[in-house]
Each structure stands twice: as C-alpha cells, then as structure tokens.
Amino acid sequence: MPDELLWVDIREAKPNKLFPEELRESVRFLRYNQHIACAECGKKARIHWTMLCEFLAKSLGSFVLVDSGLVHPPLTPVCRDHPLAPAWPEPEPKLGTTPPE
C-alpha cells in the first residue's frame, strides 16, 4: 500500500460576468493533496483547473494568447498559467456557401 494516496477536491467555478455561462459551467478547479505536473507545461502544483469537455490550453506569449495545438481530454489537470478554451469543432459550412479561406 502506498505511503500516501493521491486525492483531489473538484470544485465548480463561481459565476463570473467576464465569461459566458456555458464556459463557466464546464470549468472545474482541482485541488490535489500532492504536487502534480501540468499536462500542458509540466509545472508541478497542487491547484490546477480543467474542463468537463475536450479543451485547449493557451499560453501568453508577447501579450498574445498562443495555442500549443494539444487537445486535452476532459478532467486533464492544467496549471493556472494557461487560460482554457473548449475544443469544439468549427461549425460545418452551410450548403451552397464556400468555406472560409
């Protein structure tokens, strides 16, 4: 039996006027009893966040949000250095229209 079991406290995000309600409902905060690595950058921390759907984690580079291109599965722990965005597919173009360039 291991010396200490890994446990996590999962909390729902509180309402925030800066974010749409659909986004807020899908965000969860994770608080572990041990330091674990961020799936995006590898930084170890006890507090992470995640989403209940597939998501992208972004980084701030030269004051612009940069996407690593990694799509994380739901509940993947990502540190607080990365803003999250759902990885929803782009809507299909309607018949008779041309897709954007």
Domain range summary for the chain, segments of one domain joined by +: 8-86
Residue % of the chain over a pLDDT of 70? 84
Q: Any bridge partners for residue 59, and if so which?
A: 66
Pairing of strands 27-37, 8-12: antiparallel
Predicted local confidence at residue 48, as pLDDT:
97
Residues of the chain short of pLDDT 70, as ranges, are 1-3, 89-101
Residue 24's φ and ψ, nearest 5 degrees, are: -60, -40
The three-class DSSP label of residue 26 is: helix
Record the pTM.
Answer: 0.74
